[in-house]
Amino acid sequence: MGSRGTWSDGRRAERIVLIGAGVAGTALATALRRAGLRVVAVASRRLASARRAARLIGGAPAVCRTPEQAARAGTLILLGTPDRAIGPTARRLARAGGLCPGHLVVHLSGALPASGLPVTPATAAALHPVASLASHARAVATLGSGLYALEGPPAALRRLRRLVRALGGKAVTVPAARKGLYHAGCALASNAVVAVLAAALHTLQAAGLSPAAARAVMRALAGSTWRNVEEIGIPAALTGSIARGDVPVVAGHLRALGALLPALVPLYRELGRVAVEVGRAKGSLKRDPASRLRRLTAPAGSPATRSVPGRQGPRRSSVSRRRAAPRKARRSRSRA
C-alpha cells in the first residue's frame, strides 16, 4: 500500500487514484484535489486520456500505463470507468495483485451495487454524484458542494463520508438491493426531464414559434415550475389543465398532437396519467374529471380510449348499435 499522510485534524489522509478518465471521475478527482486531498495517480484505457485527466486534475499526479500500477500508489481507488467496465477492471486489479487489505475500491455508478465486486482483499463501495455532469468545468463546480449517494459496508461509508465532508457536500445512503430503483428515479429526475423538454421545444416550434421564441416559452415555464417545486413542493406545484380537471382542453391537446405530431401522443398520455394522480393528491382534481381524464389518457387501443370526453361510459361500437336496432324494433312491435 502507498505511504500515508495526515489530515490537518490528525485523521489518515487518503491517497486517491483515478482509474478511468471520463467526465465524472476526472471532475470528482479535480474537486477532491481542490478540497485539499491528494490525487496521486491516474490511469485510463488510452494513455492520452490519462495525461489529459492529470492536467485537468492538477497537482501533478503520476500518469500510469496500467490500472495495476496506479492502484499500488494509493489507498482509495476511484473507478471512473463506464458501468460495463467496472467489474472487468476490478477483476483485473485483483488478479494482478494491485489490491491489498486497507484499499477501498469505489465505483461511481448509481445503478450497480458495490457488494459482490471482485476486489478481495480490498473493500468495495459506491459513491454516486447526484448531478448532471455535462462538461468538466460545470461538473467540478457542481461536485464541489454537491450531493452524493453512498453504498457499501459501514467502515467504507465512514471513509466516504469524510471525503464528502471535505468537499463541503452532503451524503445520502442507498440500500444495495434498491440501487436499480434509485437509479431509475435519478434518470427520471434528469435524463427524462431533458427528453420532455426536447419534446416541448419540438411541439412549440411545430406550433409556429421560432426556435428563440420556443426556448423563451420553455424557459419561462420550466423555470417557474421548478421554483414552485422548491418553494411549495409536489403535489402543490402542479398547475394547468389536468390539475383543474379541464377535460376538453386535454382532449384538444391530444387531437392537435395526433394531427401533427402523432409520435408524441403516447408520451403525453403517459405523463398525463401521472399528472392525474398528482392532481388527486393535490386535491384540486375532483373524482369525476379524474375518471374522465384517466380514460382519455389511457394507452391507445385500450377500452378506456374508446370513451368520449364528457360521457360516463364507453362509446358503443357500430356493430353494437346495429345489433341493438332490431331489438328496439321488436319491442315496438310487441307494444303495438
Number of alpha carbons in the 13 Å side-chain half-sphere of residue 259: 8
Whether the pLDDT of residue 26 is over 90: the answer is yes
Average the pLDDT over 286-314 and give the result. 72
Q: Do 102 and 52 fall within a single domain?
A: yes
Place 53 in a pLDDT band, splitting at 50, 70 and 90.
very high
Whether 50 maps to a domain, the answer reads yes
What tens digit of pLDDT does each residue of 89-141 get? 999 999 998 899 999 999 999 999 998 899 999 999 999 999 988 788 889 98
Average the pLDDT over 140-157 and give the result. 93
One-letter amino acid of 162: R
One-letter amino acid of 196: V
Average the pLDDT over 24-31 and give the result. 96
Rounded Cα distance between 264 and 205, Å, is: 14
Whether the pLDDT of residue 323 is over 70: the answer is no
Q: Do 235 and 280 fall within a single domain?
A: yes
Q: How large a percentage of the chain has pLDDT more than 70?
A: 86
Asked which of 149, 176, 203 is the last residue of a domain, the reply is 176
Whether 98 maps to a domain, the answer reads yes
Q: Do 109 and 132 fall within a single domain?
A: yes
Whether the pLDDT of residue 64 is over 90: the answer is yes
Whether the pLDDT of residue 329 is over 90: the answer is no
- Give me the pLDDT at residue 12, please: 55
Q: Do 126 and 204 fall within a single domain?
A: no
Whether 97 maps to a domain, the answer reads yes
Whether 326 maps to a domain, the answer reads no
- Give me the pLDDT at residue 9, please: 37
Place 297 in a pLDDT band, splitting at 50, 70 and 90.
very high
Residue 296's domain comprises 191-306
* Residue-by-residue DSSP string for 257-308: HHHH-GGGHHHHHHHHHHHHHHHHHHT-S-HHHHHHHHHHTSPTTSGGGGBP
Q: Do 22 and 168 fall within a single domain?
A: yes
Whether 26 maps to a domain, the answer reads yes
Rounded Cα distance between 14 and 105, Å, is: 12
Whether the pLDDT of residue 170 is over 70: the answer is yes
Asked which of 124, 142, 176 is the last residue of a domain, the reply is 176
- Give me the pLDDT at residue 310, please: 34
Q: Do 172 and 208 fall within a single domain?
A: no
- Give me the pLDDT at residue 138, please: 87
Whether 328 maps to a domain, the answer reads no
Whether 332 maps to a domain, the answer reads no
- Give me the pLDDT at residue 98, please: 83
Average the pLDDT over 32-58 and give the result. 96
- Give me the pLDDT at residue 171, please: 97
Q: How large a percentage of the chain has pLDDT more than 90?
A: 79
Residues 6+ positions from 77 with CB-CB distance below 8 Å: 17, 19, 70, 71, 93, 99, 103, 104, 105, 106, 122
CATH code of the domain covering residue 22: 3.40.50.720
Q: Do 209 and 138 fall within a single domain?
A: no
Whether the pLDDT of residue 312 is over 60: the answer is no
Among the residue ranges 55-59, 157-161, 296-300, the one predicted with the least confidence is 296-300
Whether the pLDDT of residue 313 is over 50: the answer is no
Give CA torsion, residues 254, 260, 261, 267, to 10 deg: 0
Q: Do 11 and 146 fall within a single domain?
A: yes
Whether the pLDDT of residue 210 is over 50: the answer is yes
Asked which of 113, 141, 176 is the last residue of a domain, the reply is 176
Q: Do 197 and 302 fall within a single domain?
A: yes
- Give me the pLDDT at residue 304, please: 58
Whether the pLDDT of residue 260 is over 50: the answer is yes
What tens digit of pLDDT does each residue of 228-255 get? 999 999 999 999 999 999 999 999 999 9
- Give me the pLDDT at residue 5, please: 35
Count of the separate structural domains present in the chain = 2
Q: Do 206 and 137 fall within a single domain?
A: no
DSSP bridge pairs for 18: 42, 78
Q: Do 161 and 43 fall within a single domain?
A: yes
At residue 321, φ and ψ (nearest 5 deg) are: -65, -40
Whether 318 maps to a domain, the answer reads no
Whether the pLDDT of residue 266 is over 60: the answer is yes
Classify residue 123 as exposed, middle or buried by CB count within 10 Å of its CB (0-12, 13-18, 19+).
buried
One-letter amino acid of 122: A
Q: Do 38 and 145 fall within a single domain?
A: yes
Whether the pLDDT of residue 325 is over 90: the answer is no
